[in-house]
Amino acid sequence: MPHTIAVIGGGPAGLRAAEVLAEAGYAVTLFDHKPTVGRKFLLAGRGGLNLTHSEPAAEFLKKYGAAQSLMARALALFSPEELRAWCHDLGIETFVGSSGRVYPRDMKATSLLRAWLKKLNRLGVTFALRHAWTGWNGDALSFQTADGEMVAFKPDATLIALGGASWPHLGSDGHWTGIFRAHNIPLAPLRPANCGFVVQWSDVFRQRRAGEPLKPVTLTFAGRSQRGEIMITQNGVEGSLIYAFGAALRDEIEARGKAVITLDLRSDLTKGELTTRLSRPRGSQSLANHLRKAGGLSPLAASLLREGARDLPPNASRLAERIKAMPLTLVATGPIERAISTAGGVCLNALTEDLMLKNKPGVFVAGEMLDWEAPTGGYLLQGCFSTASLAARGIGKWLISQSITVENI
């Protein structure tokens, strides 16, 4: 009889772990409290499904900040190249975009998820949906079914992959933190990551400009600069350039109540070149027109500049200085419910190298519920796939160490 494994959570981490474990010959049951799995994965597909990134391994690893040593182990087991090969095996071609990001050819999650679930069914994974995990009862796992019934399941090993706390209506609602806390499992508080930030826009600016992309723009914060695109929202700013600085901005706001970023609205010109252009006679033109025609600013950049400082310097050189270093104050992070991902979670020092909870032998954790974060760019999904592969292999090693005869993973 194969040994039984419970995988709790049907996001990319849980599905990947179920796949690795079923391929190794275990009897895997995957529990999820929603009627279908992969809901956040499908949502990610609406934005193009950035699966991973093609940059060199050393650069890739740096994106995980303090969690680099965990991710080095995880990526060694399931690398970005292996993720692409895995997609191809499922019949899904991938391509590298101009930014180095990797996407499925159709830029959607539906066909990939469909092919993946077919494979899991073929491998014999049992799906127990509408089963909400409510904790442990002795050695057994407890689940509440949709009709309120309590069900107990006592597997040989468990892998938990319940995600963070963003977009809770899709399934990952962070309620597991209460269960973990009750079992003295060390947790770092869940915080929004890759989230929007609040700016106190004037009503006029908000009404006219929300929904417009500011591009190209160079953002500088804490001595680091990067060029990209910022989306103006009703309440502030979001987008990949903001997310790239997200952790540092969030920490600054937590420490000081605000974060002041600097925007270069004409990063393709030097200050001298811009000054020369702005020194052209303005004639009867309004300042807004002069900024657009002589300064080459987009209508959005021109109104952002005026939003930042109602009294712009009249002198061309000082005006150029302001355009090249416009301060913008962020006063709060956006809500975690709307964040792309979640920072915080199960502390890495609560886990063995194989992602088993030190105080719960036989229980492994993977995916976004671990305490790591990364910017957008494919690092999130890759991190979930790779930590799931690491934890699944860890289960195999642990069962062997318990002298249970199993096929090797």
Contact residues toward ligand FAD (CB under 6 A) are 8-14, 31-34, 37, 39-41, 43-44, 47, 49-50, 132-133, 161-163, 166-167, 171-172, 175-176, 340-341, 367-368, 378, 380-381, 384
DSSP 282-335: -TT--HHHHHHHTT---HHHHHHHHHH-SS--SSHHHHHHHHHSEEEEE-EEPP
Q: Which residue lies nearer to ligand FAD by CB, 180 or 398?
A: 180
Q: List the structure tokens of 386.
A: 């790779």
Q: Alpha carbon of 209 to those of 28, 202, 214, 398: distances in Å?
A: 51, 11, 10, 56
Q: Which tokens hold the place of 320? A: 């150029």
CB atoms within 10 A of CB 198: 18
Give min distance, CB of 206 to ligand FAD, in A. Answer: 22
Nearer to ligand FAD, 8 or 217 (CB): 8
Residue 353 CB-density burial (10 A; 0-12 exposed, 13-18 middle, 19+ buried): exposed
Nearest approach in angstroms of CB 340 to ligand FAD is: 4
In the bound state with ligand FAD, the residue whose beta carbon lies nearer, of 131 and 393, is 131
What φ, ψ does residue 88 adopt, rounded to 5°? -60, -40
Is 189 or 281 the residue whose CB approaches ligand FAD more closely? 189
Shortest Cβ distance from residue 209 to ligand FAD (Å)?
22
**Residue 71 CB, nearest distance to ligand FAD (Å)?**
13
> Which of 201/385 has CB closer to ligand FAD?
385
The residue count of the chain comes to 409
Buried b (16+ CB within 10 A) or exposed e, 169-195: ebbbbbebbebbeeeebbbeebbbbbb
CB atoms within 10 A of CB 327: 11
Least distance from ligand FAD to the Cβ atom of residue 403, Å: 31
How far apart are CB 87 and ligand FAD at their closest, in Å? Answer: 13
Shortest gap between Cβ of 387 and ligand FAD (angstroms)? Answer: 8
Dig out the tokens for 312 from the structure: 């712009």
Cβ 385 to ligand FAD, closest distance in Å?
9
CA 118 to chain centre: 26
Nearer to ligand FAD by C-beta: 166 or 333? Answer: 166
Alpha-carbon dihedral sign for residues 32, 346, 85, 88: positive
Which residue, among 56, 38, 168, 166, has the nearest Cα to 112 in the 3D structure?
Answer: 38
Q: Which is nearer to ligand FAD, 34 or 119 (CB)?
A: 34
Which CB, 132 or 325, lies closer to ligand FAD? 132
